[in-house]
A and B are shown apart, each in its own frame.
Chain A
């Protein structure tokens, strides 16, 4: 599996897609870290249990999360998580991506 800070000059990005919820609205955040911070981002990514088996969440209208690590235009890592699974290192990564991603202002 390619590492996010492997020695090449392709663009590295982490993408978080939230779907579902009562409204069924899809929202996407994409963080393209500054090269100077790649080491911190690698740690955030590596702390997450990418190979852990997904667990089914009970109920309805919960969010569903798709988290991807991109190298250029290719997703080199991808996981789908239920709302209850976005905890611990996943929560840290998701929060960091949401903070780093540019927001979409509403046109007035």
Chain B
């Protein structure tokens, strides 16, 4: 099916509802799904690689990146400053965003054969130089937006590939059906973006799970800040300890789960728990983290069966089911996933 304005998963859900109040909408959705749509041209490129003694040439999809600049205002989307195939413009934030989106696109394609945010070759839209000393980067539902930082705490959010891939990851999660941005489902949404952020960086560096830093946002703090990154997936709660920022508040176990109404119910705090579960699964399996642990998490997200309000326990059960379906119930992958969720206290140890 060709891409339309209404995502296919929404049409699927609507088409399959048996709620009598939605009978007309369900019929319309079924009709829409059955209707052929005009094809959208997909960008492709020729990629060369060496496999043993052989030179391999393959045609693969290519990203369509569009970078805009709000010139320190908050008026989105801003002026278009660099589009696909255009040369670097000499503005660090513009060129870092362009390169980071390209590296993230390559990661999603190589690891999961996913063609961009919508899996259909849609444009990757980003805006840089947002706001005045703006200390944040975010996904606004259609584009990634990056501030420059204030220079005292943050020195620019496009410096970190894990940050760029984190924001693009929010787009992927939304396109896959979404995880409500509140409480545990919101923390899972955040954790998946950290997983994609870490994996995109490892993919670019060719790092194995055991070689990687598992840090999110390394390099975006100013030199005076006492910290190495925003978050550590390996050791949540240890990324920074600074007299202005305070101490990294992330827990790595359910016994330390933080109940709060701020931060949409602690989505950036409690994401430490599923982050650590992923790190344990990935390092237990070893090798390139996106090949098995990453694939299990990605397939769990995109299967179309994950509830938008899933909590940690539901997501843990879903990753185990995905691992069993991909590798078999008695596989080392299922054992690693189960052990990871037990280690962070989301599941109980059946053998205990």
* Chain A residues within 8 Å of B, Cβ to Cβ: 17, 19-26, 58-64, 66, 80, 83, 104, 106-108
CA gap between A19 and B136 in the complex, in Å:
11
Give every chain B residue within 8 A of A61 (Cβ-Cβ).
136-139, 166-167, 170
Contact of B244 among A21, A60, A62, A106 (CB under 8 A): A106
Contact check, A25 vs B245: say whether CB atoms are below 8 A apart: yes
Contact check, A60 vs B193: say whether CB atoms are below 8 A apart: yes
Contact of A106 among B135, B137, B224, B249 (CB under 8 A): B224
Query: How many interface residues does B have (CB within 8 Å)?
Result: 35
Q: Is B264 an interface residue (CB 8 A)?
A: yes
| B residues 212-239 in Cβ contact with A at 8 Å | 217, 224, 230-231
Contact check, A23 vs B141: say whether CB atoms are below 8 A apart: no
Contact of A63 among B136, B243, B249 (CB under 8 A): B136
Main secondary structure of the interface of A (DSSP, over half): loop
CA gap between A59 and B280 in the complex, in Å:
29
CA gap between A60 and B139 in the complex, in Å:
5
Contact check, B135 vs A23: say whether CB atoms are below 8 A apart: yes
CA gap between A104 and B152 in the complex, in Å:
12
| Known A-B contacts A106-B152, A106-B244, A107-B243; A22 and B137 likewise in contact (beta carbons under 8 Å) | yes
B270 to chain A, nearest CB (A): 10
Q: Is B9 an interface residue (CB 8 A)?
A: no
CA gap between A24 and B141 in the complex, in Å:
19
CA gap between A19 and B269 in the complex, in Å:
11
B256 to chain A, nearest CB (A): 15
Contact check, A26 vs B139: say whether CB atoms are below 8 A apart: no
CA gap between A15 and B125 in the complex, in Å:
36
Give every chain A residue within 8 A of B224 (Cβ-Cβ).
106, 108
Contact of A80 among B139, B249, B261 (CB under 8 A): B261
Contact check, B264 vs A64: say whether CB atoms are below 8 A apart: yes
CA gap between A107 and B217 in the complex, in Å:
23
Give every chain A residue within 8 A of B264 (Cβ-Cβ).
20, 64
Contact check, B136 vs A21: say whether CB atoms are below 8 A apart: yes
Contact of B268 among A17, A24, A58 (CB under 8 A): A24
Q: Is B181 an interface residue (CB 8 A)?
A: yes
Contact of B262 among A58, A60, A62, A64 (CB under 8 A): A64
CA gap between A23 and B217 in the complex, in Å:
9
A81 to chain B, nearest CB (A): 12
